A = this chain, B = another copy of it.
Amino acid sequence: MVPVMSESPKQGARERILEAAYDLFSRRGIRDVSVDEIISRSKVAIATFYRHFSSKDQLAEAFLNRREEVWTSELLVAEAVKRGAAPKDQLLAIFDIFDEWFESEHFEGDSFVKVLLEMGPEHPLGKASINHLNNVRAMIRDIAERAGLTDLDDVAHSLQILMKGCIITASMGDVGAGARAKLMAERLIAEHTPADVTAAGDAPTENALAE
């Protein structure tokens, strides 16, 4: 029935649409991209488009979901975990990843923030964006918890201020935004590291059973 389309050059229509939408939406937002542009990029007939997605907004919703999978989970969180040995280093690695992202050719800014500001917090897509942004913060909070920090909610919210702030200022041309935010993150983390009774160590009541 359904043709096998792993990742061959000729993909299924739905996948081609989603890829084109990902490219265009992440760079330019939702409103600035027309359905015509998406179907011509994905080489799909207009009727085929509406057979797979009931509306442009629903495609935008699918885009936001994929954005969380691809960008938040794989490119950011998984990469940060891979780079840092200790959870604290993982949190700081986020800003290194940002720095490289800022300098790369396809720095498109924060899609969730862009869509939220574009559509407003009442629009379904704005609400969806807030949801995704909350998910990002939840993942950050998880790492902070593994790092043994105090006031987890506060730390997660504060780190998100630094993350969003440096993405915005990078969009305005601040090339040092990532490094600056990282410094502030280091101070934040130090401030929320519980005092250690034992000595020059860091974490309390060392977790003997690592991993």
Contacts and interface: CB of A to CB of B under 8 A. Distances in A.
A171 interface: yes
Interface residues of A, number: 40
A29 B118 contact: yes
A184 B184 CA distance: 7
Contacts of A120: 28, 32
B31 A171 contact: no
Contact of A165 (B29, B134, B163, B174): B163
Given A157-B180, A180-B158, A113 B168 contact: yes
B169 A161 contact: yes
A162 interface: yes
A81 interface: no
Contacts of A130: 172-173
Interface string A87-129: 0000000000000000000000100011011101100000000
Contacts of A183: 158
Contacts of A77: none
Given A31-B31, A117-B118, A181 B168 contact: no
